[in-house]
Structure 1
């Protein structure tokens, strides 16, 4: 078996997603288990995560008993590797509720309750487990107490270090999950619900601003002669951009079409690069994956760019001389 044939976490997520999309999560679970059992993981310590992913797929397939068996394997793998099985244990409690074993489920969850104020992902996981056993009121009680504890731990000033942001992240996660639980239970809004909605709105605004900023960044285009020169002078970067000029302009048309489909009102633009200019820009730099983005940022400061898309009957943006509708427009549909 070659290294190239081994699979990482992203590949497993892709397998799981494809299985769900085609309506056969059980087949996806079987495929992931086979990968684990046949030693085809790039990192063997991913076995616990892989088995948990397969267990989630079996639950999606309404096979709670099979999901529990895989979860037991995941817990054993975590312990063998010396990693905490906390979230696998929470998932096991959820399955026990579904399998009509409520006493065992609660005995599993009660010792895990402190996770609510230790890990921002715990709020949703524990609430989902409790709701599986029709214990929404318990979820509300636990979350309300955890919110008060977490709020007291939030620093008064903006933390400078990422690690110092954890108390704030935990508080936000608890506040949001409590809001969702109260909605499920049909409870009226209180002050914490208002705070949760305000924070969620602020996060949405920030995410929208980030998306608009990303979508409004121009894309780098090399006219045909410049692309040929780039292939001669900087073949590695040409491969990133192409690797051929036809593939280069096809890829850009698809990228811009995808950005337009986001429905965000931004001006979509291309900036023209030159091989000589890029060669001068990368001189003395590491040719890393982000060098093209850095070059675009530098170009954006001194080039207005070309608006996209042109009218169907106008000359194509790629400079071929043909009408857009006959040139690059169809490329986004291939």
Structure 2
């Protein structure tokens, strides 16, 4: 008898640390959806998005777009509503369907000033498809909108705090993107630099590829870092969970530029990296970049 796929099963498919044969993955996911074998109905859009990714790996453009569009259709009113649309827009742009892809992203654009993690499904598709200038334009406008919401909100209200949190994230994202584009610093960039100076990081998190280079470059006797990337992110997760929620440590994300300066060890100051918002929602993509839901990725690592 064919098995029912749980959230854990789907997250295992989505976890880049557990590579799966894309043909096998595609077949099982589609069959599970068609035969109503997804344990949690809320996970159906997620299963279809994963199936579309598998089809894309197989270079089956038509199948990838079909499954992705189906995921958008069934996501209506569900928690993956925005993410499904962002993933579909990414595929549309990747395969040259400019008008349809941009129409989806323009509809999602207002979320940039409403949702702390909207950049995952609005800005990332733009950047990954070479639309850096438009991404910078949208981040700039969303930052102004978020600051306007904060300015109009009642002092010390949840609305004001949420708007400031979103503005801080947009500020850093814009600054990092403009640096990537080699644009000259403007006044807003200087504010972002000041934010970095004011919020000295307590922890530095290295993405997986950067951490591997770090471990390879440093002799074991000179390095007390955790021996694997899994343990590196687990250490940060444990420390965050053990911290006072009202005064959380600051996590800085290591970038390629930072790694190059760090490994050169020639006295050049390590440039600041983006700060990691904390905590993510349980059903949001995990902070470590795995794209697996936080509740199924690093959240349980911190309890180990």
Give the number of the structure whose alpha-carbon radius of gyration is greater.
1
What RMSD over aligned residues (CA atoms) do the two structures have, in Å? 4.0
Structure 2 gaps of 5+ residues are: 206-225, 236-241, 243-304
Counterparts of 1:25-174 in structure 2 under 5 Å?
25-79=22-76, 85-154=81-150, 165-174=161-170
Q: Deviations over 1:276-312 (max 9, x none)?
A: xxxxxxxxxxxxxxxxx9xxxxxxxxxxxxxxxxxxx
TM-score (norm: length of structure 2): 0.56
CA distance in 1, matches of 2:155, 2:54: 40
CA distance in 2, matches of 1:263, 1:93: 30
23 and 184 in structure 1: CA distance in 2 versus 1, 3 angstrom threshold: farther
Structure 1 gaps of 5+ residues are: 210-255, 266-292, 294-334
Q: CA deviation at 1:144?
A: 0.6
Q: Deviations over 1:169-212 (max 9, x none)?
A: 32233223222321332212334334445556777724569xxx
Name 1:8's counterpart in structure 2: 6
Q: Deviations over 1:74-111 (max 9, x none)?
A: 112123x5667333222222222222121222222222
CA distance in 2, matches of 1:181, 1:64: 29
Equivalent residue in structure 2 for 1:190, among 186, 201, 207: 186
Q: Secondary structure, in 3 states, of the residue corresponding to 1:154?
A: helix
Is 1:94–1:105's contact at 8 Å kept on the other side of the alignment?
Answer: yes
**Larger RCO: Structure 1 or Structure 2 (Cα < 8 Å, ≥ 6 residues apart)?**
2
103 and 158 in structure 1: CA distance in 2 versus 1, 3 angstrom threshold: same
257 and 139 in structure 1: CA distance in 2 versus 1, 3 angstrom threshold: closer
- Give the structure with the higher percent helix: 1
TM-score (norm: length of structure 1): 0.52
Is 2:82–2:108's contact at 8 Å kept on the other side of the alignment?
Answer: yes
Is 1:16–1:28's contact at 8 Å kept on the other side of the alignment?
Answer: no
Q: Secondary structure, in 3 states, of the residue corresponding to 2:29?
A: helix
Task: State the number of aligned residues.
Answer: 214
